[in-house]
Structures are given as C-alpha cells and as structure tokens.
Amino acid sequence: MLPGPFDDLITANKIHAVTHQPPATKGAAGRQLAVITCMDCRVSPAAVFRLDPGDAVILRTAGARVTDDVLRALVVATHLLDVTRVVVMGHTDCRMTTNTDEELHHAIGRMAAVDTRSLDFGTISDQRVALARDVQRIRSSPYLPAALDVLACVYDLGTGCVTELST
Ligand SMILES: [Zn+2]
C-alpha cells in the first residue's frame, strides 16, 4: 500500500495516545485567557506563554487579524468559556506585513493560476497601527464584556520575547 499524506500524523497520534491524560475541565479556559495570533507555523502561542491544554482559547488568522470569525469566537469564549482577558499577538517577519493584498493576488496567480482578487487578505502596512485597530475592534464590540482586558504585543521570532504595545 502506498503511503498516505497523513500517515506521519496518524503514527504520531498513536504515540501521543499512550501517555495522554483526559482533560480535567469541560472546555472553559483555565487561565481565563484567549490568544489571537497569526497562522504562521513558526509561532506557537502555547510555547510563547508556557500554556498547557485547558489554559487558553487560541484563535489564529493570517496576520493575527481580528476578523468577524474571531469576534464571534470571542463572544462564545467570554460568555461561555470563562475568558476575561485577550492577547492579540503579531510577530516579526510576518508575511502579512511584507506584502500588499495586490502582491499576494499576483503571487498566488503566478504560482497557482488562481484569481484571488475577490478576497480581502487583510495585509498590514503598519503592524502597530493594525494591532491597535484590532484591539479597538474588540473593545468596541457590543457583544463583548466591557471589563475585558485586552493586550496587544509583538512576538520576536529571533529572541522569543514579546513586546507589549500601548493601544
Ligand atoms: Zn504572520
């Protein structure tokens, strides 16, 4: 039988399951935390903040943007999953900060001959401005608790440090 594209994952899961312990909670965030960050595979929010399963809700988008889907998830997380604080974490060397939407459309069109011009990628020309704007988007949502604590920061892929931003 030919190897399948997911064989490595199924094999890894068999090893994982040997030592797996069932979670003690019902899905609430044990540290009352949600982290919104980029989908970049070099960023591991669990590692950055030393989080364990059950500690935090993790939401990921291209560029750590606070999209409508992120807001919807935050409404559930704050009202039903004990989240009282939210970190919005961008990172250095983010592809979404080094390309415009137009450049991404062109790059994808060149690589895959797919016309993506009807999509809004939410690319970022100024990361600090975008983070401040996304924090404001959370703070101004009528569906989220007014007392929600929100922090914006940038994770440095080189040093492993986060820099807090005032928003
Ligand atoms: Zn990124």
Angle between helices 68-80 and 127-139 (to 10 degrees): 50
Q: Which amino acid is at 129?
A: V
> What's the CA-to-centroid distance between 93 and ligand 1, angstroms?
7
| CA distance linking residue 104 with residue 37, whole number of Å | 20
pLDDT in tens, 118-147: 999 999 999 999 999 999 999 999 999 999
pLDDT in tens, 5-44: 999 999 999 999 999 999 888 899 999 999 999 999 999 9
Q: Judge contact between 70 and 95, C-beta under 8 A.
A: no
Taking residues 151-161, report their average pLDDT. 98
Q: Which of 2-6, 96-100, 161-165 has the highest mean predicted lDDT (pLDDT)?
A: 161-165
Mean pLDDT of the chain: 96
pLDDT in tens, 57-100: 999 999 999 999 999 999 999 999 999 999 999 999 999 999 99
Q: Judge contact between 101 and 132, C-beta under 8 A.
A: no
| 95-101: Cβ within 8 A, 24+ apart | 95/40, 95/62, 95/63, 96/38, 96/62, 96/63, 96/65, 96/121, 96/122, 96/123, 96/124, 97/63, 97/123, 97/124, 97/125, 97/127, 99/123, 100/125
> What's the CA-to-centroid distance between 98 and ligand 1, angstroms?
10
Q: What is the pTM of this model?
A: 0.92
- Per-residue pLDDT at 100: 94
Hey, what domains does the chain have and what are their CATH numbers?
24-165 (3.40.1050.10)
> What's the CA-to-centroid distance between 36 and ligand 1, angstroms?
11
Q: Which amino acid is at 122?
A: G
| CA distance linking residue 115 with residue 96, whole number of Å | 18
Burial readout 117-130 (b: 16 or more C-beta within 10 A, e: otherwise) = eeeebbbbeebeeb
> What's the CA-to-centroid distance between 91 and ligand 1, angstroms?
6
> What's the CA-to-centroid distance between 35 and ligand 1, angstroms?
14
> What's the CA-to-centroid distance between 161 and ligand 1, angstroms?
16
> What's the CA-to-centroid distance between 94 and ligand 1, angstroms?
4
